[in-house]
Amino acid sequence: MKKNKQIIKKIALSRIKFLFERADEIFPKDQDLANRYVELCQAYSRSANLKIPKELKRRICHSCKKFLVPGVNCRYRMQSRRGKGSHVTLTCFICNNKTRYYIKKKNPKIRKEKKENSP
C-alpha cells in the first residue's frame, strides 16, 4: 500500500508540473483554459494529498484561484523594511488581492562557520 501511494504522488506531481507548463504556454491565447489547467492541478493535489511546489503555488491567486502571469494580470513589488522585514508583494489585477511573501535573512553565524571549516 505504501508503495502505491508513493507512485500515485509521483504521477500527480508530474501531471501538476505538466499542466503548469501548458497553462504558461496557452495563457496568451486562452486565459480561461489556463485557469482550467490550474483548477485541475489543485484537484490532483487534493486527490493525491500532495502539496503543490512553492514556485508553482505562487503563480496562483489565493483569493480568486486564477493563473497569474507577472505584468499581465498581476504585479510583483519588492519592499525592504527594517522593522517588519523585506518582502515581495503580489497584487492580483482580477480580484485586487495582495499577498506578501517574506524574505528570510541568511544567518551570518552559519557563513562564518563554513568559512572556518573550509581548507
91-108 tens-digit pLDDT:
999 999 999 998 887 666
Residue scoring higher pLDDT (15 or 81): 15
DSSP state of 53: P
Q: What is the pLDDT of residues 37-66, one digit of tens each?
A: 999 999 999 999 999 999 999 999 999 999
Question: Domain count of the chain?
Answer: 2
> In the chain, what percentage of residues exceed pLDDT 90?
74
- Backbone dihedral region of 85: left (phi > 0), alpha (psi from -120 to 50 degrees) or beta? left
pLDDT of 67 higher than 80: yes
Q: Are both 55 and 107 inside the same structural domain? A: no
Q: Are both 56 and 74 inside the same structural domain? A: no
Q: Are both 10 and 47 inside the same structural domain? A: yes
Interval 78-92 mean pLDDT: 87
Q: Are both 11 and 52 inside the same structural domain? A: yes
Q: Are both 77 and 37 inside the same structural domain? A: no
Strands (E) located in the chain: 74-79, 87-92, 98-102
pLDDT of 1 higher than 80: no
pLDDT of 111 higher than 60: no
Q: Rounded CA gap, 98 and 79, in Å? A: 13
Q: Are both 83 and 43 inside the same structural domain? A: no
User: In terms of Cα–Cα distance, which of 85, 87, 60, 86 is closest to 74?
Assistant: 60
Q: Which pLDDT value is given to residue 76?
A: 94
Residue 65 forms part of a structural domain: no
In which domain, by residue range, is 11 found? 1-60
Beta bridge partners of residue 90, listed in sequence order: 76, 99
Q: Are both 94 and 119 inside the same structural domain? A: yes
Q: What is the pTM of this model?
A: 0.80
Q: Which pLDDT value is given to residue 105?
A: 73
- Of 13, 28, 60, at which residue does a domain stop? 60
Residue 25 forms part of a structural domain: yes
- Of 26, 60, 94, at which residue does a domain stop? 60
Q: Are both 36 and 74 inside the same structural domain? A: no
